[in-house]
Chains A and B, each alone.
Chain A
Amino acid sequence: MADIHWVNEVVNFLSADLRTAMPLLLAATGLIFTERAGIVNIGVEGMMLVGSLAGVAGSFFLGNAWLGVLVAVVAGGLLGLFFAYLVVTARADQVVIGTAFNILGLGLTTSFARVIFGVNTAPPQIDSFKPVAIPVLAKIPILGPVLFNHSELVYLSLILMPLVHFFLFRTTTGLKIRAVGENPRAADTVGINVFKIRYGACIVGGALAGMAGSYLSLSLLNFFTENMTAGRGFIALAAVIFGKWTPAGVLGAAMLFGAGDALQYRLQAANSGIPYQLLLMIPYILTIAALAGFVGRAVAPAASGQPYEKE
């Protein structure tokens, strides 16, 4: 009996881990695009927040959770476009603009959430995602409940991983994106449109950040609350570095960081006396360690953060 209990605990934990890792994974996947194209986007937290509210609002007004996700993706994409305009065309400082986007996201969502849903009313019923057990597969012992009993958004994110990997490392467009991030001058010389690639990457990055936000408000927590991303955008940023700018690495990092989060909830619930704050620090400390080369070398795309000017 004790053994079965233990197995159940692990299954529950891994399943929760996957659930909490998804928003990190989605946002980090978006960041892979932007960073591979040579753009540092510190504003992903703000973009996620906007996605969270847009998702709930979309679902509220259109009556369908998938349409909510679509609204969030469009909202994120538009923010990505605006970001691209500022850092690619206007060549503004990417880090500064990113910080502004975080403040903007917080301001916009906090202000407009009150307008859309009122201040003191109970949260309205909205269509959101429920776990869907995949027939047959969900019956597999251990693996089934861990992997195949989630909301559709989780499956979608997991399918996205190999696709993004294939796109970035096996297609010409993927090669172009990476070339722009490593050496925009050389890419330009061989006829790649650096501006177009960077615009595209920013829009995709923003759209995925928006989707990550909608996952929070439509699948994980089922409503919008002020500042609900709670730093997940920054953890996603950490996951990209820790995952060495590859989809597989990012998946691993997101799972690792998600595990810390899931463990933290358990520690808090169990009232164990172990300070959970120290656990919450781990992703950030690991990322700094990775940057310093303690956990394998983390090398960013060479042109990352630099604006490009055609001569």
Chain B
Amino acid sequence: MTTRAGSNAGQVIVGGLKSLITPVVAIVLALILGAAAIALMGLDPLVAYQSMLQGALGSTNGIGETMVKATPLIFTGLSFGLAKKAGLTNIGAEGQLYMGGLLSVIVGISLKGLPIFIHLPLAILAGFIGGGLLGLLSGWLKVRFGASEIITTVMLNYVAQYFVSYMVNGPLIEPPGNFPQSPPVAASAQLPIILAGTRLHLGFIIAILAILAYYIFMWRTNTGYELRVVGQNPQAAAYAGMNAARTTLLSMFLAGGMGGLAGVGEILGIQHRLFQNFSPGYGFDGIAVSLLGYNSPIGIFLAAILFGILRAGGNMMQMIANVPIAVVYIIQAFVIIFVAAEALLRRRRSKRKAARVQATPAVAEVGKNG
């Protein structure tokens, strides 16, 4: 019995390590290609990466900044991952982020005189709902009209961005109207700083709670189970009497809400007011985060921290090593490409295995029986 349990634990560990192979290989390859790009520019990749690490992890401020950058990525990673678990592709976290920021600001500036423990949750909830409704719109268009959520979410990204731009140029503009930005939100609607001397705000804690909520919902509730079954095998789900339309609506709403929270963190935690183009593409980075983390709660967290390091350290890299911060995009893109193209590695491996099995059927049989 003990040996059995021991070998099981061993299997779990080996399995866990095996699932780490692809992301680690992807990161290493992407960093090598990033280094090649830096070298091609006539700059020193080693100095670049050193200054990046120094900037992201070398000081309290750096670590705080890394977590600040990781916060929206956790939310957008959860946004893509949650939809993916339900068999949906949500490319709309960027737009959902903008709508989340917009609604949280509206609540943040229009309500006055409330204590923080009422005002702040209301503003956060508004942001969640703002992003959620935009996600729900795509879900509804899919359920009702069969419109691909991939395309509608992509299109709505732009609609949301232009809408925010319109709002801060018009209805929400701060008097006297010299700059396209909203007035600041009330102090009672701001996410407090949780690490003195840094910009790290309560949004990071909320992001971790969101990961926990994602885990509990997805793996510990019936609805979450249903959602995963629909995502994995729609036919079986229909046969079991599960309602695919309902899970589509629900998961797009929740995914949109997560995207909305990414915007909430940026606005209520850092900027404290709304302006146009406030996201440097966090919505799209979420796709990479979710892929790299295999949609698992821990995976998404680690991937978000990694990309947080890239983003936070990128500034230092630009200052010290003179390497444009855009190199970070190149690295991120290749991480996505290598993880998404993982099937190539796996298929080669399984082909080789199949070839081996075919070549020696007897041995394979014996192996199976033994």
Chain B 189-215 against A: per-residue CB contact (8 Å), 1 yes, 0 no?
000000000000000000000000000
Judge whether A115 and B337 touch: CB under 8 Å: no
Tell me which residues across on chain B come within 8 A of A89, comparing CB atoms: 344
B336/A277 in contact, CB under 8 A: no
Q: Are A86 and B141 in contact (CB under 8 A)?
A: no
A260-296 at interface with B (beta carbon < 8 Å): 275, 277-278, 280-281, 284-285, 287-288, 291-293
**Cα–Cα, bound, A17→B199 (Å):** 46
Asked if residues A115 and B41 are in contact (CB atoms below 8 Å), the reply is yes
Known: A86-B337, A278-B166. A104 touches B155 (CB 8 A): no
Residues 23-72 of B contacting A (Cβ, < 8 Å):
37, 40-42
Q: Which residues of B contact A100 (CB under 8 A)?
A: 288, 333-334, 336-337, 340
**B147 lies within 8 A of chain A by Cβ:** yes
Residue contact A111 to B41, C-beta cutoff 8 Å: yes
Contact residue range for chain B? 35 or more
A residues within 8 A CB of B89? Answer: 93, 95
Residue A255 interfacial (CB < 8 Å):
no
Q: Does A70 touch B at the CB level, under 8 Å? A: no
Across-interface contacts of B122 in A (CB, < 8 A): none
A111-B326, A281-B159 are contacts. A237–B333 as well, Cβ < 8 Å? no
B344 touches A107 (CB 8 A): no
A91 to chain B: closest residue by CB: B343
For A, the interface residue count at a CB cutoff of 8 angstroms equals 44
Q: Which residues of A contact B288 (CB under 8 A)?
A: 100, 103
Q: Cβ of B329: which chain A residues have Cβ within 8 Å of it? A: 103-104, 106-107, 110
Q: Tell me whether B327 and A111 are in contact (CB under 8 A).
A: yes
CB distance from A151 to the nearest CB of B (A): 27
* A83-113 to B contact mask, C-beta < 8 Å, 1/0: 0001001111101110111111011101110
Instruction: Please tell me which one of the listed residues A99, A275, A291 contacts residue B170 in the complex, with CB atoms under 8 A apart.
Output: A275
> In this assembly, does A154 line the interface, its C-beta being within 8 Å of a C-beta of chain B?
no
Residues 335 to 357 of chain B near chain A (Cβ within 8 Å): 336-337, 340-344, 347
User: For A57, what are the chain B residues with a Cβ–Cβ distance below 8 Å?
Assistant: none
Chain B contact residues, majority secondary structure: helix
Q: Shortest Cβ distance from A180 into chain B, in angstroms?
A: 19
A111-B37, A281-B163 given as contacts; is B156 within 8 A of A104 (CB)?
Answer: no
Chain A residues near B281 (CB, 8 Å)?
103, 106
Across-interface contacts of A234 in B (CB, < 8 A): 154-155, 157-158
A285 to B157, CA, bound (A): 11
Collect the chain B residues with CB atoms within 8 Å of residue A108's CB: 37, 330
Bound CA span A99–B153, Å? 13
A92 near B340 with CB under 8 A, answer yes
Minimum distance in angstroms from A28 CB to a CB of chain B: 14
**Cβ-based interface call for B230 (8 A):** no
* A96 contact set on B, CB distance < 8 A: 287, 291, 336, 340
The residue among B159, B328, B347 with the most chain A CB atoms within 10 A of its own CB is B159
- In the complex, the answer to whether B155 meets A284 with C-beta atoms within 8 Å is yes
Residue-wise, chain A 214-239 has the 8 Å CB interface mask toward B (1 for contact) of 00000000000000000100100110
B239 at the interface (CB under 8 A from A): no
A99: chain B residues within 8 A (beta carbon): 91, 284, 287, 336
Does chain A have a CB within 8 A of B324?
yes
In angstroms, Cα B341 to Cα A93, docked, is 8
Is B278's CB within 8 Å of the partner chain A?
no
Which one of B148, B328, B340 contacts A291 once the chains associate, using CB atoms below 8 Å?
A: B148
Q: Is B152 an interface residue, CB under 8 A from the partner?
A: yes
Judging by beta carbons under 8 Å apart, are A277 and B166 in contact? Answer: yes
Report the minimum CB–CB distance from A187 to chain B (whole Å).
Answer: 22
Chain A residues in 8 Å Cβ range of B342: 92
Partner of A92, one of B91, B154, B343: B343
B165 within 8 A of A: yes
Contact of B150 with A by CB under 8 A: yes
CB distance from A253 to the nearest CB of B (A): 13
Which residues of chain B in 275-297 are interfacial with respect to chain A, using CB atoms and an 8 Å cutoff?
A: 281, 284-285, 287-288, 291
Task: Mark out the residues of chain B between 135 and 158 whose CB falls within 8 Å of any chain A CB in the assembled complex.
Answer: 141, 144-145, 147-148, 150-152, 154-158
Contact A291 B159 (CB under 8 A): no
A194 within 8 Å of B by Cβ? no
B150 and A107 within 8 A (CB)? no
- The chain A residue sitting closest to B343, CB to CB, is A91
How close is B314's CB to chain A, nearest CB, in angstroms?
Answer: 11
Residues in A whose Cβ lies below 8 Å from that of B225: none
Q: B145 to chain A: which residues have CB within 8 Å?
A: 291-293
Q: Which of A102, A112, A280 contacts B162 (CB 8 A)?
A: A280
Residue of A nearest to B168 (CB): A277
Known contacts A111-B324, A114-B324, A287-B151, A103 near B333 by CB under 8 Å? yes
Could you list some 22 contacts between A and B, CB below 8 A? Answer: A86-B337, A90-B343, A92-B341, A92-B343, A93-B89, A96-B291, A96-B336, A100-B336, A100-B340, A101-B333, A103-B281, A103-B333, A107-B331, A108-B330, A110-B326, A111-B324, A115-B42, A234-B157, A277-B163, A277-B166, A284-B158, A288-B152
| Contacts A100-B337, A291-B141 known; 16 new A-B pairs at CB < 8 A | A90-B344, A93-B340, A95-B89, A95-B91, A96-B336, A100-B288, A104-B330, A106-B281, A107-B328, A115-B42, A275-B166, A277-B165, A277-B169, A284-B156, A288-B151, A292-B144
10 smallest CB-CB distances across A and B, nearest first, come from A107-B329, A104-B333, A110-B326, A90-B344, A100-B336, A107-B330, A291-B147, A277-B166, A292-B145, A284-B155
